[in-house]
């Protein structure tokens, strides 16, 4: 069965075997998943949880305020028991450098 509002023709021999994204050669998350297969990172929208100082800005250090949004690469770096631990890497344009947020791991 073709379904309603699909917008694409699927030949009867391919019906149920592949999704529309597989037939088109695209990922369901679109351009946000461009680093998913190479680096294992997903592009997400990250908002600063609190104000931080950028020490790489020249000639003076600047503050990045709470609520400033960045496009960040989200990457799984480990587990704490069964909870995944993620690292967020983003670019800070005025500093021409990068920022990385990674939670501190508990040591025993």
Question: What are the pLDDT digits (tens) for 16-66?
Answer: 776 767 777 777 777 777 777 788 788 889 999 999 888 888 788 889 999
Question: Across residues 84-102, what is the average pLDDT?
Answer: 86
pLDDT-derived band at 88 (thresholds 50, 70, 90) equals very high
Residue whose entry in the numeric block shows the structure tokens 């009867």:
12
Evaluate if pTM is beyond 0.75. Answer: no
Q: How far apart are CA 10 and CA 4, in angstroms?
A: 13
Q: How far apart are CA 73 and CA 44, in angstroms?
A: 6
Q: Which of 102, 87, 98 is nearest to 57 (CA)?
A: 98
Please write the tens of the pLDDT for every residue from 67-84.
999 999 999 988 888 988
């Amino acid at each position: 069965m073709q379904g309603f509002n699909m917008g694409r023709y699927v030949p009867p021999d391919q019906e149920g075997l592949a999704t529309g994204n597989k037939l088109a050669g695209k990922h369901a998350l679109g351009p946000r998943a461009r680093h998913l297969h190479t680096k294992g990172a997903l592009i997400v929208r990250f908002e600063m949880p609190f104000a931080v100082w950028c020490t790489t800005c020249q000639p003076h250090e600047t503050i990045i305020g709470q609520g400033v949004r960045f496009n960040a690469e989200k990457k799984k770096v480990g587990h704490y028991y069964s909870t995944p631990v993620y690292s967020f890497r983003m670019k800070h344009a005025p500093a021409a450098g990068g920022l990385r947020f990674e939670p501190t791991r508990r040591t025993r």
